């Protein structure tokens, strides 16, 4: 089988899966991804941010030893680091891997810790994108907490995607959940909320690039405020958003 044929086959499989699971919920999507041999070895990537606990809880219910990758950019809020440890312990997550850029690489490229102000894309690349890419090496795909309502770039998000450039499958179990679905799920299951949410941070990233959101603003308005930047870059390949149908 040629590479082109292989890619075409995987695209078709993702399309078939999205059609097959069109009327299914997040739990069914997640269970299929984690238990079907065709998906290979998957890891979950979580920021342990404002909405992360819902998917982490689902993963804990379906397969508690799923590898969970947490990127410590070394610029996170202290509250996020504490919350990460508390949630992992409470949910009984057995395989959380904390990943970060090496001290040598940060010293070389961002010695003063100010890159986020002059070149936020490069900062995200150094502290998040490259770190995650290295950590995902050896995995066949990854599970994300992205949802359609979060931004315009995610409006057509499907449950299953294929990243042609990396050859990995991306699974988005909560793609069709609304903000209300998330809140209801968290309340029904009595899941702990990130402490910064109550302080006006409905979307939480690195401390220097996250600000409070006023009433009536888009929940992600506090991320990279005043810039055109909407994504940290981990859902881009070669500078382009990867989503179903992009390269068709």
Q: Which of 123, 124, 206, 232 is catalytic?
A: 232
CA dihedral of residues 193, 194, 200, 205 (deg, nearest 10): -140
Dmax of the chain from CA atoms? 55
Q: For residue 76, give Cα distances in angstroms to 54, 81, 97.
A: 20, 7, 16
Is 232 marked active-site? yes
Among residues 121, 126, 127, the alpha carbon closest in space to that of 72 is found at 127
Element (H, E) at 237: strand 236-237
Measured from the Cβ of residue 154, the count of other Cβ atoms closer than 10 Å reads 18
Catalytic residue positions, numbered: 232
């Amino acid at each position: 089988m040629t590479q082109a044929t292989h890619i075409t086959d995987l695209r078709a499989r993702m399309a078939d899966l999205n059609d097959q699971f069109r009327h299914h919920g997040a739990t069914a999507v997640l269970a299929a991804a984690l238990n079907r041999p065709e998906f290979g070895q998957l890891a979950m990537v979580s920021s342990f941010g404002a909405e992360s606990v819902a998917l982490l809880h689902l993963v804990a219910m379906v397969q508690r030893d799923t590898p969970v990758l947490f990127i410590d950019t070394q610029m996170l809020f202290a509250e996020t680091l504490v919350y990460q440890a508390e949630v992992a312990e409470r949910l009984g997550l057995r395989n959380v891997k904390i990943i970060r850029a090496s001290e040598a690489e940060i010293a070389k490229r961002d010695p003063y810790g100010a890159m986020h102000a002059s070149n936020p894309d490069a900062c995200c690349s150094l502290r998040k994108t490259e770190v995650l890419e290295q950590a995902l090496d050896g995995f066949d795909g990854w599970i994300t907490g992205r949802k359609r309502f979060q931004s315009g770039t995610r409006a057509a998000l499907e449950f299953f995607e294929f990243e042609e450039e990396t050859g990995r499958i991306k699974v988005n179990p909560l793609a069709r959940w609304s903000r209300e679905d998330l809140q209801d799920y968290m309340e029904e299951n009595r899941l702990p909320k990130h402490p910064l949410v109550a302080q006006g941070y409905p979307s939480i990233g690195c401390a220097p690039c996250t600000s409070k959101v006023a009433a009536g603003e888009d929940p992600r308005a506090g991320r990279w405020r005043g810039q055109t930047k909407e994504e940290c870059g981990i859902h881009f390949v070669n500078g382009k958003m990867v989503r179903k149908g992009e390269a068709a």
